[in-house]
Structure 1
Amino acid sequence: MGRLSGKSCIVTGGGAGIGEAIAIRLAEEGARVAVADIDADAAGRVATRLSGQGAEAFGGRVDVASTAEVSAFVDEAARRFGRLDAIVNNAGVALPGSADGISEDDWDRVVAVNLKGVWAGIKYAIPHLRAAGGGSIVNMASVQALVGFPGWAGYAATKGGIIALTQQAAVEYGAEGIRVNCLAPGTIMTPMNEEIFRTAPDPQALIDDWNSSHALHRFGQPQEVGAAAAFLVSDDSSFVTGVCLRVDGGLAVLGPTGRAN
């Protein structure tokens, strides 16, 4: 019996990268998992993998910028599983641009997906978590909410907003047994970053540079974020709420311009 046995969970952005790793870890710990992703094929692939490993799972297409799509998927998960115990609001986009350089369209999109999408996940999960007598909400922030990285104004703003929203929701729903926390990953080896390395003029030099910007002298793996998410979903974190847990290998304490010895 895993520590999440009997729990029903939703993971948005669960079709690849960190979201996929979270979905896999929750299922390995015994949870039923609904995988939402804007890429329906990716969501279905992950759900099929989980089912093949003995978990109860299904996938579906969800654009988290659409409140109607989020609401419908959350309701479907609760109906299929009979209850909802947790949602991991992981879906997000990374659109670059400085405050005076990012286009209005890109700004609106990153806010709609990263911040509005998290709000929608919270909003529509709350009634089901209440019905279950409590539960856990885990939101995906970023270390970029805590330290400055030139050229990422919209992304950083939304991730900072997620931390504030997490704290607000923790206060609002704590008395009902609903815990709300967030994760702030550092550099994680996702498919997006793998592509950056693959196309770099000197991939190894770039890898070495990124490694040295972390106190642990390496970047992280999606599975390490998945483990942190499982902790926050589980009853092992029963007295933890309103927390932003950094999973960043010491990037924030070293500083983005620092280098590990």
Structure 2
Amino acid sequence: MKSARGPFRFDGVSVLIESDVRDFIDTAAQRYGGLDVAFNNAGITIQKPLHEYTADEFDRVLNTNLRGTFLAMKYEVPHLIRSGGGTIVVTASSNALATDSSRAAYTASKRGLVGLVQSAALDYASYGIRVNALVPGTTDTDLVRNASPIGHLPDDAYQVAMKQWAQSNVPGIPLPHGRAAGHRRRKNRARLMLGSDELGASAKVPSTAFVSWRVAIPCGREISWEIVDFE
């Protein structure tokens, strides 16, 4: 954003506090003259077998990932309606489609986001608001490294270990560019594409697109879709 010389500002808020979410969105819309695109990305994970979660731990993951996104969308939508339409992008996860052990809370929250997006897309298509879920696979982010037992390794060793893991766990390996985990820059390109006018036609129908690095999975009714490759 600095290189593009666009105006920007960072304000830290907690998605757990409804009044903070509302005030943040209202202030942003007022400062920049409205809202056209909203990207909801806040998320955490706590990994352990289901029976070992405390109720507070389970609630913390669900309230951050799912309820926090609900609150954001609740206060984004009125601004988008006033703007005559726009786009909401939500980060879900491939865990919403297929998961692993010790991810009960995270998976429940991300699968809940898929349902939230599907329903919201139908709610607001007639207003010209497009609602999409980004469903990334394993991506080299701080959240993934912090949740990984090998995340403490130096970068070179981490990449080698991830490649070895991916050979047995990720269809399509070896990947282009020799990386086992998707790079965050590819995810950023997906976010920008979903939020841009390039997909404006899909706002004309009640639709959602769940985009991974290699495939868009159609959900909802009467939609057209295409395979998307962000490599």
Consecutive aligned runs of 4 or more in structure 1 exceeding 6 Å deviation: none
User: Is it true that 1:209 corresponds to 2:164 in the alignment?
Assistant: yes
Task: Note the residue ranges of structure 1 that are not aligned, 5 or more in a row.
Answer: 1-49, 253-261
Task: Note the residue ranges of structure 2 that are not aligned, 5 or more in a row.
Answer: 175-179, 218-231
Matched to 2:79, the amino acid is H
- Contact 2:44–2:143 (CA<8 Å) still a contact in 1? no
SS at match of 1:125: helix
Structure 1 residues 198, 175: CA separation in 2 closer, same or farther (over 3 Å shift)? closer
Structure 1 residues 222, 203: CA separation in 2 closer, same or farther (over 3 Å shift)? closer
What does residue 245 of structure 1 align with?
Answer: 211
Whole-Å Cα distance in 1 between the matches of residues 141 and 81 of structure 2?
34
Shift of residue 243, structure 1, vs aligned partner: 1.9
Corresponding pairs, count: 201
Alignment of 1:1-261 (within 5 A): 50-51=1-2, 53-194=4-145, 196=148, 197-200=150-153, 203=158, 206-212=161-167, 213-214=169-170, 215-217=172-174, 218-240=180-202, 241-247=207-213
Whole-Å Cα distance in 2 between the matches of residues 226 and 204 of structure 1?
20
Matched to 2:212, the amino acid is R
Whole-Å Cα distance in 1 between the matches of residues 185 and 173 of structure 2?
16
Whole-Å Cα distance in 2 between the matches of residues 209 and 103 of structure 1?
33
Whole-Å Cα distance in 1 between the matches of residues 186 and 165 of structure 2?
17
Matched to 1:220, the amino acid is G
Structure 1 residues 204, 138: CA separation in 2 closer, same or farther (over 3 Å shift)? closer
Whole-Å Cα distance in 2 between the matches of residues 116 and 244 of structure 1?
20
Matched to 2:65, the amino acid is N
- Contact 1:200–1:206 (CA<8 Å) still a contact in 2? no
Task: Report the RMSD for the aligned CA atoms in angstroms.
Answer: 2.1
Shift of residue 192, structure 1, vs aligned partner: 3.7
SS at match of 1:119: helix
| Larger displacement relative to structure 2 (123-132 or 50-59) | 50-59
Shift of residue 225, structure 1, vs aligned partner: 0.8
For residues 202-255 of structure 1, give each alpha carbon's deviation from its aligned partner in whole angstroms, at most 9, with x where no partner exists: 6455222333233243210111111111111111111333222123x68x9xxx
Matched to 1:91, the amino acid is A
